């Protein structure tokens, strides 16, 4: 082997782009504005922002599952419901203070996700989707059989527990607002960090081709398990915060496929599956449509479903995919680019 | 004796689940398409039956003369005009398009018929039964459901294994690209498969509508039953699907006998046990 190999050209690996710096600046300003909101916004504003936060967080998690790991789950409502019920159980029966109970609720969801994964991972593709739905139904049915948690009719959170969140109404609203905000921003940051890590590289490889990813040494199964458990953990915490705010829980509402999964799927599909920016765009469309069509009842869901169908057929990577391709913009750069010098 | 009765009725009602499942199984077999809107299409057919009964004054079972052809045509158009465009190597489009379709159908029914529960009336036939012994009786209606399910499966098997259309179904199932090289018009074949699937679920829908109350949100539960019957039975085997339906019906009957609140749960648990013990189902034929 005496032949001289051509010297490697000088190169560097770029991760940020010009638009990503703009994105970072916009995000920083938005976070400052959101942190200051309790001082100048009304109660309705706070509640809307919290709802947007957890919707975007759920969308990011579903996108991580479906858009990257190829795990199209129609059963994420299982973990919202488990999180919500764990919060009620932990605070009422075990007497845990509400804020640590939120973290523990996430842990409960993650623990229950282990046997769930062992079962549903036996199914592939579309069968996995329906399998996760069945498991969510099982959790819903079982919850409906627990008399200590209100059985089928559900229960309300005792006043003492919500007092433990904050003495006055304003205090409670503010604490819940910051919890929602921290979870929302934290989820986006965690997904972003995950996708930039080695795990994320593996996940992106799986997104692009599962076979190719496996052949270059990615442990597909382990990566998928990790994503599934992470999604369950955070979804459980979100469920706990959602029901700490709602104050009333029932199996039908807590394990509702429309509220916790269908809306989220539409948001991701419309915004752009397989990107961090997509769920933001999708949430913008979702809350925008809801604002204008709130009075039209079922027509709102019909329109949302139809738009999602059209997008899936004509623009597989959603609205963000169209924009990103045309203008080469990336607010959340997760890619590595090689530049020759 | 209550137990024997319950199990017997459960097994017969399993025929209904097999009818729900046959269409799902057929579509998956021919083009590997899992239709998430399957349950909502069943409910749509039930409403079509309701409208037919109300406007034409037909009985619930004679309304099939209208409902079956209407759903057949709808199935063809649905596949030709929409679902064919989702097929390919990527699993997301078929899954998410049929999911969107499911929400659209459910909400369109909600807009058109309100959330009120509906039912088709079949008079004394619903409760008539054959007395085997003093304590043991078989309902005529569950028996008719089961016999119909067996008849539908026999006819589907004959169609699949004895006719030119069936040959095309099997060819596209084995290898769609090669089938095309031999002159099979895949898109037309897929559309026929969906048309046939919707014709079958029309029968199931009318039985459902006579048996229990239904409303626009009844779809997903039927999708889950159909799916469970297919997986319990094993992919690609219609007789397996019938067995899967029976297992599901018996499990629900036993659950309901133990505690009325356990009916649904018992069916789901039976499904999960089969998935753990025999992941490929009881009588697998196809690899997914």
Residue-level pLDDT at B286: 58
The verdict on residue A231 lying in a domain is yes
Of A273, A298, A313, the CB nearest to B107: A298
The verdict on residue A267 lying in a domain is no
Domain of B149, in residue numbers: 2-115+132-277
Q: Does A293 contact chain B (CB < 8 Å)?
A: no
The verdict on residue A115 lying in a domain is yes
- The interface predicted TM-score (ipTM) is 0.90
The answer to whether residues A98 and A244 touch, using CB atoms and an 8 Å cutoff, is yes
- Optimal mutation site among B85, B107, B263, B266, interface A, most CBs of chain A within 10 A: B107
Residue-level pLDDT at A286: 93
Residue-level pLDDT at A206: 87
Residues on chain B touching A119 (C-beta within 8 angstroms): 272, 275-276
Q: Which of B9-23, B131-145, B159-173 has the lowest mean pLDDT?
A: B131-145
Residue-level pLDDT at B2: 80
The answer to whether residues A157 and A244 touch, using CB atoms and an 8 Å cutoff, is yes
Residue-level pLDDT at B287: 52
Residue-level pLDDT at A239: 96
The answer to whether residues A281 and A330 touch, using CB atoms and an 8 Å cutoff, is no
Domain of A97, in residue numbers: 38-256
The verdict on residue A318 lying in a domain is no
Residues contacting B282, CB < 8 A, separation 6+: B232, B233, B234, B240, B243, B244, B247, B274
The Cα–Cα gap between A199 and A179 comes to 27
Task: Tokens 């046939």: give the residue.
Answer: B196
Q: State whether B36 and A266 contact (CB < 8 Å).
A: no
**CA-to-CA dists, residue A41 to A21, A33, A290, B237, angstroms:** 28, 10, 21, 61
The verdict on residue B125 lying in a domain is no
Q: Does B91 contact chain A (CB < 8 Å)?
A: yes
Q: State the CB neighbour count (10 A cutoff) for residue B211.
A: 17
The verdict on residue A147 lying in a domain is yes
Q: State whether B93 and A313 contact (CB < 8 Å).
A: yes
CA distance B199 to chain A (A): 23
Instruction: Name the nearest CA neighbour of B199 among B18, B69, B49.
Output: B69
The Cα–Cα gap between B267 and A338 comes to 55
The verdict on residue B282 lying in a domain is no
Q: Does A129 contact chain B (CB < 8 Å)?
A: yes
Residues on chain A touching B227 (C-beta within 8 angstroms): 127, 130-131, 134
Most confident of A18-27, B198-207, B275-284: B198-207
Q: What is the mean pLDDT of residues B231-256?
A: 92
Residue B288 scores a pLDDT above 70: no
Q: Three-state DSSP class for A162?
A: helix
Residue-level pLDDT at B99: 93
Q: State the CB neighbour count (10 A cutoff) for residue B7.
A: 17
Q: State whether B108 and A302 contact (CB < 8 Å).
A: yes
The Cα–Cα gap between A19 and A340 comes to 20
pLDDT confidence tier of residue B134, bands split at 50, 70 and 90: confident
Residue-level pLDDT at B24: 92
CA distance B274 to chain A (A): 10
B111: nearest CA partner in chain A: A298
Per-residue pLDDT of chain A (341 residues; tens, 9 = 90+): 455 667 777 888 777 777 778 878 888 888 888 888 888 888 888 899 999 999 999 999 999 999 899 899 999 999 999 999 999 999 999 989 999 999 999 999 999 999 999 999 988 888 899 999 999 999 999 999 998 888 888 899 988 888 888 888 888 889 999 999 999 999 999 999 998 888 888 888 888 888 888 888 888 889 999 999 999 999 999 999 999 999 999 999 999 998 999 999 999 999 999 889 999 999 999 999 988 887 887 888 999 999 999 999 998 889 998 888 777 777 777 777 777 77
B91: nearest CA partner in chain A: A125
pTM for this entry: 0.91
In total, how many domains does chain A have? 1
Residue B145 scores a pLDDT above 60: yes
Q: State whether B103 and A257 contact (CB < 8 Å).
A: no
Q: Does B164 contact chain A (CB < 8 Å)?
A: no
Q: In terms of pLDDT, which residue wins out, B270 or A25?
A: B270
The verdict on residue B287 lying in a domain is no
> Residues B91-132: pLDDT tens digits?
889 999 999 999 999 999 999 999 999 999 888 888 888 887
**What residues 54-83 of chain A have any CB closer than 8 A to a CB of chain B?**
66, 70, 72, 74
Q: What is the mean pLDDT of residues B133-151?
A: 89
Residue-level pLDDT at B163: 92
Of A127, A135, A273, the CB nearest to B92: A273
Cα distance between the two ends of chain B: 41
B82: nearest CA partner in chain A: A313
The answer to whether residues B130 and B143 touch, using CB atoms and an 8 Å cutoff, is yes
The verdict on residue B251 lying in a domain is yes
Q: Work out the mean pLDDT of chain B and round it to a whole number.
A: 91
The verdict on residue B96 lying in a domain is yes
The verdict on residue A47 lying in a domain is yes
The answer to whether residues B100 and A305 touch, using CB atoms and an 8 Å cutoff, is yes
The verdict on residue B57 lying in a domain is yes
Describe chain A by its helix, strand, coil percentages, rounded to 5. 75, 5, 20
Residues on chain A touching B261 (C-beta within 8 angstroms): 144-145, 152
B86: nearest CA partner in chain A: A313
Q: State the CB neighbour count (10 A cutoff) for residue B69.
A: 13
CA distance A132 to chain B (A): 10
The verdict on residue A28 lying in a domain is no
Q: State whether A127 and B34 contact (CB < 8 Å).
A: yes
**What residues 301-340 of chain A have any CB closer than 8 A to a CB of chain B?**
301-302, 304-306, 308-309, 312-313, 316
**What residues 209-248 of chain A have any CB closer than 8 A to a CB of chain B?**
none
- For chain A, the three-class secondary structure string (H helix, E strand, C coil) is CCCCCCCCCCEEEECCCHHHHHHHHHHHHHHHHHHHHHHHCCHHHHHHHHHHHHHHHHHHHHHHHHHHCCCCCCCCHHHHHHHHHHHHHHHHHCCCCHHHHHHHHHHHHHHHHHHHHHHHCCCCHHHHHHHHHHHHHHHHHHHCCCHHHCHHHCEECCHHHHHHHCCCHHHHHHHHHHHHHHHHHHHHHHHHHHHHCHHHHHHHHHHHCHHHHHHCCCCHHHHHHHHHHHHHHHHHHHHHHHHHHHCEECHHHHCCHHHHHHHHHHHHHHHCCCCCHHHHHHHHHHHHHHHHHHHHCHHHHHHHHHHHHHHHHHCCCHHHHHHHHHHCCCCCCCCCEEEEC
In total, how many domains does chain B have? 1
The Cα–Cα gap between A248 and A240 comes to 11
The verdict on residue B192 lying in a domain is yes
The verdict on residue B126 lying in a domain is no
Q: For residue B43, give the CATH number of its domain.
A: 1.10.3470
Instruction: Name the nearest CA neighbour of A336 among A228, A200, A152.
Output: A200
Q: State whether A257 and B99 contact (CB < 8 Å).
A: no
Q: Strands A248-249 and A337-340, how do they pair?
A: unpaired
The Cα–Cα gap between A241 and A109 comes to 13
Residue-level pLDDT at A2: 52
Residue-level pLDDT at B82: 95
């Amino acid at each position: 082997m005496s032949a001289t190999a051509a010297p490697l050209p000088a190169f560097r690996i770029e991760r940020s782009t010009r638009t990503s710096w703009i994105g970072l600046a916009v995000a920083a300003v938005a976070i400052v504005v959101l942190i200051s909101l309790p001082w100048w916004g009304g109660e309705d504003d706070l509640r809307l922002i919290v709802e947007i936060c957890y919707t975007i967080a759920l969308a990011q998690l579903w996108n991580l599952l479906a858009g990257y790991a190829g795990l199209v789950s129609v059963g994420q409502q299982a973990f919202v419901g488990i999180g919500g019920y764990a919060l009620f159980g932990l605070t009422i029966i075990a007497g845990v203070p509400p804020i640590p109970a939120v973290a523990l609720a996430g842990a409960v969801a993650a623990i229950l996700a282990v046997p769930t994964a062992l079962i549903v991972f036996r199914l592939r593709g579309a069968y996995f989707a329906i399998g996760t739905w069945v498991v969510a139904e099982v959790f819903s049915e079982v919850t409906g059989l627990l008399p200590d948690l209100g059985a089928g009719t559900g229960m309300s959170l005792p006043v003492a527990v919500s007092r433990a969140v904050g003495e006055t109404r304003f205090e409670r609203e503010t604490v819940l607002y910051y919890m929602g905000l921290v979870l929302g921003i934290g989820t986006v940051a965690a997904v972003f960090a995950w996708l930039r890590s080695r795990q994320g590289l593996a996940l992106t490889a799986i997104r692009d081709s599962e076979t190719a990813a496996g052949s270059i040494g990615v442990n597909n199964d382990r990566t998928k398990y990790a994503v599934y458990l992470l999604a369950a953990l955070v979804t459980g915490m979100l469920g706990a915060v959602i029901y700490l705010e709602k104050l009333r829980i029932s199996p039908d509402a807590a394990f509702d496929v429309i509220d916790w999964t269908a809306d989220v799927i539409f948001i991701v599909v419309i915004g752009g599956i397989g990107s961090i920016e997509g769920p933001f765009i999708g949430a913008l469309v979702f809350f925008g449509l809801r604002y204008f069509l709130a009075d039209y009842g079922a027509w709102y869901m019909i329109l949302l479903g139809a738009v999602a169908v059209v997008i899936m057929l004509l623009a597989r990577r959603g609205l963000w995919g169209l924009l990103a391709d045309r203008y080469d913009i990336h607010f959340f750069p997760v890619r590595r680019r090689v530049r020759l010098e | 004796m209550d137990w024997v009765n319950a199990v017997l009725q459960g097994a017969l009602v399993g025929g209904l689940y097999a009818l729900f499942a046959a269409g799902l199984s057929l579509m998956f077999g021919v083009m590997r398409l899992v239709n998430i809107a399957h349950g909502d299409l069943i409910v749509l057919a039930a409403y079509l039956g309701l409208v037919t009964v109300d406007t034409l004054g037909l009985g619930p079972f004679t309304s099939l003369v209208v409902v079956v052809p209407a759903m057949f045509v709808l199935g063809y158009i649905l596949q030709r005009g929409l679902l064919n465009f989702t097929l390919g190597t990527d699993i997301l489009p078929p899954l998410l398009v049929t999911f969107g379709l499911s929400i659209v159908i459910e909400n369109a029914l909600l807009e058109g018929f309100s959330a009120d529960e509906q039912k088709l009336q079949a008079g004394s036939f619903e409760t008539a039964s054959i007395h085997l012994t003093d304590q043991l009786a078989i309902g005529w209606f569950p028996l008719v459901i089961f016999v119909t399910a067996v008849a539908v499966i026999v006819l589907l098997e004959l169609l699949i294994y004895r006719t030119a259309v069936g040959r095309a179904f099997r060819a596209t199932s084995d290898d769609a690209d090669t089938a095309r090289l031999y002159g099979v018009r895949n898109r037309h074949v897929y559309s026929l498969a969906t048309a046939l699937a919707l014709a079958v679920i029309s029968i199931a829908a009318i039985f459902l509508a006579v048996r229990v109350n239904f409303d626009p949100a009844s779809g997903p539960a039927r999708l889950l039953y159909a799916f469970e019957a297919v997986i319990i039975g094993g992919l690609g085997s219609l007789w397996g699907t019938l067995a899967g339906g029976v297992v599901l019906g018996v499990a629900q009957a036993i659950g309901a006998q133990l505690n009325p609140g356990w009916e649904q749960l018992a069916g789901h648990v039976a499904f999960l046990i089969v998935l753990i013990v025999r992941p490929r189902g009881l009588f697998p034929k196809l690899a997914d």
